[in-house]
Copies of this chain bind each other. A is one copy, B any other.
Amino acid sequence: MAKAKNQNPDYEKMLRKAGVRITRPRRIILGILSGAGDHPDALEIFRRAVAVDGSISLSTVYRTMKLMEGMGAIHRHAFEGGPSRFEQAGGEHHDHLIDIESGDVIEFKSDRIEQLQDEIAKKLGYDIVHHRLELYGRKRRTAG
C-alpha cells in the first residue's frame, strides 16, 4: 500500500550520456528524490542523504539540485517564503495545492486552466515559457 510514485526513468544512464559523472553523492541524492513521495527542501534531502552516507555535505546537495534542475531532471518550487523544495521530474505536468497548516503539498492538474492561461498570454502578446499556479488552502472541516 506504499505510495509508489516511482517511474524512475533511469537517470543514471541519461546523465552519463549527457557527460555528467555519476558519483556516490549524486547517486544517493537522486535515489532520495526518486523515492520521495513529498517535496523536500535542500536541508531535508541533506538529512536523508546523511542517513545513507554520513560524509555527504549540504553544498553537494545544493550543487546537485542546481545541476539536475539544469538537466531537467528535477523541478524546483519556491513556495511562500520558505526555502526551495524539490521534486523529481519526469511525471506529468501538474500544479500544487499547499496545505498552509501542515505544509503538505497536493498535486493537481487542470487542462482547462492551462488552456485559459495560453489564451490570456496570447491575448497579451506573449508566449508562455512556464508558469506557476499554487493554491494555498486549509483542509475543509468535514461538517460533523
Q: Separation in Å of the A43 CB from the closest CB of chain B? A: 18
Interface-side segment among A17-25, A85-93, A123-131: A123-131
Whether the Cβ atoms of B136 and A127 lie closer than 8 Å is no
Given known contacts A78-B81, A97-B121, A110-B120, is B133 in contact with A129 (CB within 8 Å)? no
Asked if A12 lies at the interface with its beta carbon under 8 angstroms from chain B, I say no
Q: Separation in Å of the A80 CB from the closest CB of chain B? A: 8
Contact partner, A97, options B97, B126, B137, B139, Cβ 8 Å = B126
Copies in the complex: 2
The interface size bin for chain A is 20 to 34
CB-defined contacts of A132 to chain B, threshold 8 Å: 80, 132-134, 136
Whether the Cβ atoms of B120 and A135 lie closer than 8 Å is yes
Given known contacts A97-B120, A120-B108, is B127 in contact with A138 (CB within 8 Å)? yes
CB-defined contacts of A38 to chain B, threshold 8 Å: none
In the complex, chain A residues 88-144 whose Cβ is within 8 Å of any chain B Cβ? 97, 99-100, 106, 108, 110, 112-113, 116-117, 120-122, 124-140, 142
Name the 8 nearest CB pairs between A and B, nearest first: A126-B137, A128-B137, A132-B134, A131-B135, A133-B133, A129-B136, A125-B140, A128-B135
